């Protein structure tokens, strides 16, 4: 979904279907691609750009226009929603979900 939103933000054609079925290697490749693409995109966005409208069609073919700021906020919040779903499923299966608390990870110097 992040690749789809990034393609909308850059006004480029989507390279994947809305709901692609990817194996582990293809998924890892997309993660690597996003790891490079988001910083590139965000480094070029100014505060003034956040109010710009982006026109697109959703997965149902409906036409919408959303601001850059709303799209970026959606991407962050929606990905957190899915991480929560995954954590709940892992717990329900008796496992321990991955550590995802950014502030604590930074404080503990687990990430930079």
For residue 44, give its domain range: 2-107
Domain count, the chain: 1
- 71-84: average pLDDT: 93
Average pLDDT of the segment spanning 56-70: 94
pLDDT at 67: 98
pLDDT at 16: 66
Single out the residue of 83, 85, 86 nearest to residue 101, CA to CA. 83
In our burial notation (b when 16+ CB lie closer than 10 A, e otherwise), range 56-91 reads beeeeeeeeebebeebbeebeeeeeeeeeeebeeee
Mean pLDDT of the chain: 91
Q: Is residue 73 a part of any domain in this protein?
A: yes
pLDDT of 85 > 90? The answer is yes
Rounded mean pLDDT of 52-62?
93
24-53 mean pLDDT? 95
Does residue 38 sit within a domain? yes
Which phi and psi angles does 32 have, rounded to 5°? -60, -40
Residue 43 domain-assigned (yes or no): yes
Domain assignment present for 47: yes
Residue 50 in any domain: the answer is: yes
Tell me how far apart the alpha carbons of residues 52 and 69 are, in angstroms, rounded to a whole number: 8
Give me the pLDDT at residue 102, please: 83
Residue 30: inside a domain: yes
Is residue 112 assigned to a domain? no
Model pTM?
Answer: 0.81
């Amino acid at each position: 979904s992040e690749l789809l939103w990034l393609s909308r933000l850059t006004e480029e054609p989507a390279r994947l279907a809305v709901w692609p079925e990817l194996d582990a290697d293809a998924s890892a490749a997309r993660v690597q691609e996003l790891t490079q693409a988001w910083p590139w995109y965000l480094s070029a966005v100014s505060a003034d750009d956040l109010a710009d409208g982006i026109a697109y069609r959703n997965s149902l073919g409906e036409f919408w226009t959303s601001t850059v700021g709303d799209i970026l906020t959606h991407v962050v919040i929606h990905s957190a929603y899915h991480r929560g779903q995954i954590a709940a499923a892992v717990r329900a299966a008796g496992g321990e979900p991955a550590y995802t608390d950014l502030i604590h990870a930074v404080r503990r110097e687990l990430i930079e």
